[in-house]
Each structure stands twice: as C-alpha cells, then as structure tokens.
Chain A
Amino acid sequence: DTGVSQDPRHKITKRGQNVTFRCDPISEHNRLYWYRQTLGQGPEFLTYFQNEAQLEKSRLLSDRFSAERPKGSFSTLEIQRTEQGDSAMYLCASSPFNSGGSGELFFGEGSRLTVL
C-alpha cells in the first residue's frame, strides 16, 4: 500500500511532555498538509508544505507547535510542553502539485494524542 502513513497511531503522554508525529506522504506528492481534529468536529487546517517550504501556518499553530519537512519527503509535527487541550487526532494529507485548489487530498489514518 502506498498511501499516506502516520506514526505513531496513538500516543498517550503527560502534560508538559514533548511529542513528535511523523507523516510519510504518497511518494509523488509534493504538497503535504497537517490538520487537527477534535472529538465531534471537522478537521482544522494547521499548516502545509510545498516540497520543503512551509507556505502557510494557521493561527491555531501556537509557538509550541513546529512542523518540518526537511527534504521534501516525510514531515514531522512536534508539540512541546503538551497541554490537555492538545488532545486530538492529528491528520496528515498529501496532494500532487497540479491539484491546485481542486482539493483532492489523500489522508492518512491519523495520530491520536491523549494528554493526561
């Protein structure tokens, strides 16, 4: 299967700890997106990359959050000093360059974070 993969699928941590999630997009896709989905809500946009360049960040992405895509392939999302409000599903998606605003994103299964 060459879909979007995310790791870990589940993470339980204590408040104040740092966590990192990894996303491996579909190999030929040069756009990569991070979304956050809280229980009972739709996904909220966090940030997106075109190749290694981070082109847009949501105001939801506080200074405790950082995302990287160092070689334009996989991406990491790090949350420092986690808070209980960070508990959510973190979704990664990718799309090819020529999709423009046509919006077909290919999602991974998500990484569920629980902060105790």
Chain B
Amino acid sequence: AQTVTQSQPEMSVQEAETVTLSCTYDTSESDYYLFWYKQPPSRQMILVIRQEAYKQQNATENRFSVNFQKAAKSFSLKISDSQLGDAAMYFCAYSVQGAQKLVFGQGTRLTINP
C-alpha cells in the first residue's frame, strides 16, 4: 500500500524567510504524481504544486518549488520569501497514474512570524 509521511507536525518561519517542508512516500509504482496542497484555517484545500514522477526537473510555481528525489522517495516543498498568507496546514499527497484517489500525509502546520 502506498503511504505518505510528513515528519514535521509544525514548522515556523519569519516573514520573508525561506522554509522547507519534508515529505517521504512509499510506492512500488513507477508512474505517479506528487502534490502539495494547502489548507488555510476554515477554508478549502487548494493545490500548491504538482510533480509528475517521470519528470526529472523539479516543479516551480512562483515562490514555491519542490526538491523531488525519486530514488530516495522524497518530495520536499520550499517556500521562499514567506508571507503571512502562507500560514496554513500543508499536505503532501500522492496518486498513481490513472487512479482517482489521493493518499495524503498527516500534514505540517506552518506558522509565519511577522
């Protein structure tokens, strides 16, 4: 069974600084997707960034980038120039190519200190 592990229940960072959230996963599949979703307090979860496993290049979306290490089954999220609006729960998630369900990690609560 596929599993996703986020070993950091909570992280905090100073505004404008950079923070990295960790995620590891376990799978025997070769074709899959990895995601970071953001869940602000009392608001809906939204997709932050997505990585296809067959792509070697790390995905980037503005201030958000990932470090995808396929052999190590590691998928970390780097947030640069942290902003107050980045405060949220961040979930790492996985899906198999062609499958319809996401498997989520336990989440990391990110606090931004002004």
Residues of A within 8 A of B (CB): 3-4, 31, 33, 40-45, 48, 50, 55-56, 91, 93, 100-105, 107-110
Contacts and interface: CB of A to CB of B under 8 A. Distances in A.
B93 interface: yes
B8 to A, nearest CB: 13
Contacts of B9: 40
B57 to A, nearest CB: 17
6 contacts: A93-B45, A100-B98, A101-B97, A101-B98, A102-B33, A104-B35
Nearest to A109: B44
Interface stretch (B14-22, B60-68, B74-82, B102-110): B102-110
A103 B95 contact: yes
Contacts, number: 67
Contact of B104 (A33, A42, A55, A56): A42
B105 A101 contact: no
B84 interface: no
A105 B44 contact: no
Given A42-B91, A43-B91, A103 B35 contact: yes
Interface residues of B, number: 28
A42 B101 contact: no
A42 B106 contact: yes
A102 B50 CA distance: 8
Interface of B: 4, 6, 9, 32-33, 35, 42-47, 50, 91, 93, 95-107
Contacts of B6: 42
A70 to B, nearest CB: 20
Nearest to A31: B100
A43 B103 CA distance: 8
A93 B96 CA distance: 18
Given A43-B91, A91-B45, A103-B93, A48 B106 contact: no
A48 B101 contact: yes
B104 A48 contact: no
Nearest to A4: B44
